[in-house]
Amino acid sequence: MIVVRKMEPSEASAVKKVGQRAFGIVESLFVTKPKEAMIALLDDKIVGGIIIKYIVSDRKKIGYYDGAFIDSDYQGLGIGNKLYAETTKYLWEQGCDALCALVKDDNVGSWKLFLNNGFSQTSIKEGIHQLGLGTMLKTYFTTPFFIANGMEFYLAVKEQSVQSKVCKTGSQIGLYLLVNFLLILPTLFMGRSNFGLFISAYMVLLIGGVLFSYIGTLFSKRQWYFRMNSGGAALAAFINLSGAFPMIGSWYPEKYENTQAFKKDMGISALWEWLFVLGVTFIALLLEPLYFRYMAQIGGVFLIFRILIFYPFESFGGRRVYLWNKGWYGVLTVLSILLLMFS
Per-residue model confidence as pLDDT tens digits over 45-62: 999 999 999 999 988 999
Q: How far apart are CA 106 and CA 269, in angstroms?
A: 14
Buried/exposed 80-118: b ≥16 CB within 10 Å, e otherwise: beebbebbbebbbeeebbbbbbbbbbbbeebbbbbeebb
DSSP state string for 27-49: GGGG-PPPSSEEEEEETTEEEEE
Report yes or no: 67 and 50 within 8 Å, Cβ to Cβ. Answer: yes
- Largest alpha-carbon pair distance within the chain? 67
Going 121 to 123 to 129 to 131, the CA torsion angle's sign is positive
Confidence (pLDDT) at 342: 82
Confidence (pLDDT) at 233: 92
Report yes or no: 235 and 295 within 8 Å, Cβ to Cβ. Answer: no
Q: Which amino acid is at 244?
A: A
Low-confidence ranges of the chain (pLDDT < 70): 166, 191-192
Radius of gyration of the CA atoms of the chain, in A:
21
Sheet containing 60-70: order of strands = 2-6, 37-42, 45-57, 60-70, 98-104, 151-157, 120-122
Q: What is the DSSP letter of 160?
A: B
**Which neighbouring-strand residues pair with 69?**
49
Burial group, residue 304, by CB count within 10 angstroms (0-12, 13-18, 19+): middle
Domains present along the chain, CATH in parentheses: 2-157 (3.40.630.30), 169-341 (no CATH)
- Beta-carbon contacts of 70 under 8 Å, excluding residues fewer than 6 positions away, are 22, 40, 47, 48, 79, 80, 83
Confidence (pLDDT) at 79: 92
pLDDT, one tens digit per residue, over 142-183 is: 999 999 899 999 999 988 888 877 678 999 999 999 999 999
Confidence (pLDDT) at 192: 67
